Structure 1
Amino acid sequence: MTTAPVLSYADCVDRLRAAQEAAAALPAVLWQATGAELAKGLEVLGELSAVAEGAEAAITINALDRGEPATTTPPVNAREWVAQHHRRYAQAGAGQVATVAQACQEPRHTILRDAVVTGRVSIATAHVILKEMRLLKPHLNPDAIDTIWHAYMTLGERHDARTIRRLRDELLSRHGLDGEFDDTEDRATKGESLTLGKEIAPGLWEYVLRITREGRASLEAAIGPLSAPTPTPADEHGPAEPDLRPHDLRRAHALLALIGRAQKAGDTTWSSTKAQIFVQISLQDLQARAGAGSLLGGLTTGELVTPDTVRKWACDATIIPTMLNSCGEAVDLGTAERFFTPAQIKHLWLRDRHCTYPGCDAPAAWTDAHHLIHWADGGPSNLTNAALLCQRHHTIVHTQRYHGWIEPDHQGRQHVVWDRTRGAYDHALSRLDSAQGRTGTTTAPGHSDHQHRRASGDPDLWHRS
């Protein structure tokens, strides 16, 4: 059994200088190597870089433990000490090294320290992980924190910082405190904006749009098909011509085409269906308003949306919900026909005239048809279970769990009444369950052709009757 040689600190520095000299001489002798030898050289350099970066972190941690930055003349902070003694970090990056080293000094970060010092996780990735944990920790279930640290370290060995950042929504949806993932969507909604635009060149204007993940999914689903290349086919008048427009230009043209269609439609229903969005969620999560739905298709594939967003989207014929049972198998794939038809929407326009939320007079053409008893809870797609809501109030009704119902006014005209007590919908649903002798999924009065019921034997499975 062979053991690694015991080296002094001076021996280590000498060998590092020898490695430095070898790496500097390498480009001049590459002609001597075969293709396989080139690959081997790159592998060795990769391993050397990882180990060297871990050694950099170890030196910095040790220097901070000894208080070295404070002993210089004049005294400096950790970032400045790193920048003074490391050529690569003299201009940029010293702050990352210092931050990671300072975090590694804390006893609770032994997992991080081991991963960084051994070179398994780069300093840049460790810096991102620290930031993500700082943002996430107040919102996570305390029992999950150590598990998440281990998961981050494992992923950090193989993936870049971008992958680490993309885990934030997944971790919040699966390991966050109750309601935390939904709260992120609510907070993001307050930041939505569209600037007035500024002229950046003669005749060219720039707008800045900020929207939530829900808005992005809708936007991408709408402009995606319209932004595809449209080559000109060959005919008797000329040869085929490719579509040479850059991708960004095609997307701009698609958005303008979408706006043009809306303007032409005016106060009438669109002649064509809206763009479709596919979202996948387990039935258990949809009912419990837990976990998250995963978007399918287009640029937003894999992004997550809250269960409340899925429930709101289920009012819209443009959303195709794919529900999974406890084994992860698709048990119900929604279709556009199961939702409100264009004829029903026209009837709603005549009945409601505008958004039914108290005090809102948004015209009918700007509204969605909302299920008063949500489709996810067995609500039927008929006029007695429908109300017009503008997009803003549709979101509010779902997130605040407001309850609406239809009753005649003093002239006998049907209109929608709203109970704007937070959670009123849940109380109404419980009363309806009790009145009909049910537990679990509620079926609204008059629900027939599109009724959903729990299938016996599997509480996660719905089927159509």
Structure 2
Amino acid sequence: MTEVTHPYLAGVDTAAAALEQIVELEPAFLPVSDQRRAVLAMRRLSTQVQAMEAMLMAAAGGVAEAEGSRDVAAWVAHRSHDSLVTTRRLQRLGVACDQRWHRLGGALVAGQVNVDQGHVIAGALDDLASAAALVDIGAEEWGQVLARAEQHLVEQAAHFGPRELRRLGERILEAVAPELAEELEGRQLADAERRARRRTLLRIQHLGDGTALIKARVPEAAALRLKTSLEAFTSPRRADGRCSTDGEAVPYDRRMGEAFCSLLETLDPARLPLHGGDATTMMITMDLAALTSGLGTATLADGSRITAGEARRMACTANLVPAVLGTRSVPLDLGHTARLFTPAQRKALALRDRECRADGCSIPATWCEAHHWQPWLLGGRTDLANGILLCSRHHHLVHDDRYLHDRMPNGDVRFARRR
């Protein structure tokens, strides 16, 4: 008795036999015009084969069940030694076309839409379908909107590639139901903002090497605001992504890190919430000898250690509560808040200095910090005669004991590395 072959399988066998005949031929000898036709025809054929494979995988769940595989994609990946990512992606497309987007499936098997376009269109349609709860519309009318969206995207596939189709898919409602687009976008944005607030977090991990790792996830608007604020502290970016400071090329990400430190140091404590009964302050404990000499270390409220020079530098721009200890660790001065230059004094310094007063530095005054030439902790006055503008980098250097610095006749500061 002759075994009857199903027409589908017979067709697959016929296609395979035809391909075997083509394999024996050498395409290099085709005329250019024929090569052009052959390339396009092969591309269309490849698309149709992949589309038919996707549709077959969507219908062949029994194969996986019969052999105990998780799904058809896993079975195919195991048997063909293909990537599971590839087979599962193809299966998802087949299921989407078989269960939801029949017009797209027909265009795929007809070779009118390629597989990459199909993935994009199916994804856009699924996203649109999931937004049904966000619009005030009946189920039947919403179904008509989805049908128009599917038809529109399939038609646009004749003119646009996957990237362009993705952009069209993001704004598809404006094309097929503009009266609903604004309402949906507003509700989607509101939902996104609520999710962003729920996911907001910030973690600080002390690494034990003098640095801390800050990991944050914040709403996009807050991130943009932070980026804008930080870039106010950095010098203009160069085309290669590095900033030039005093002739030294510095990577942009490092400049942004330094700008973040500068931003924290220039926050106005009077504008911050009360913390422990007063505007947010930093408590510093240090020996009197370290304070007067600028050598040694100081301790912050959480036990972290910094150099005495860094404590002096911070006193120029931050409200500090120094707890200065004598030789027997007896507090000598507690509760005296460091005086900062007033906004009016800052403006006067900006008019006078115009830019960083370090020799050869041209960072604008708006990005500089006001420095007490004679340290305030050692009795220096907070007035224009004792004030000088320095960019963040040179403000660090002036408190760095590895560098010497002196005033030039024109009032600029010249730095030299200690030998």
Same fold, judged at TM 0.5 (above) = no
Q: Given the two structures, how large is their TM-score scaled by the length of structure 2?
A: 0.44
Q: Given the two structures, how large is their TM-score scaled by the length of structure 1?
A: 0.40
* Structure index of larger Rg: 2
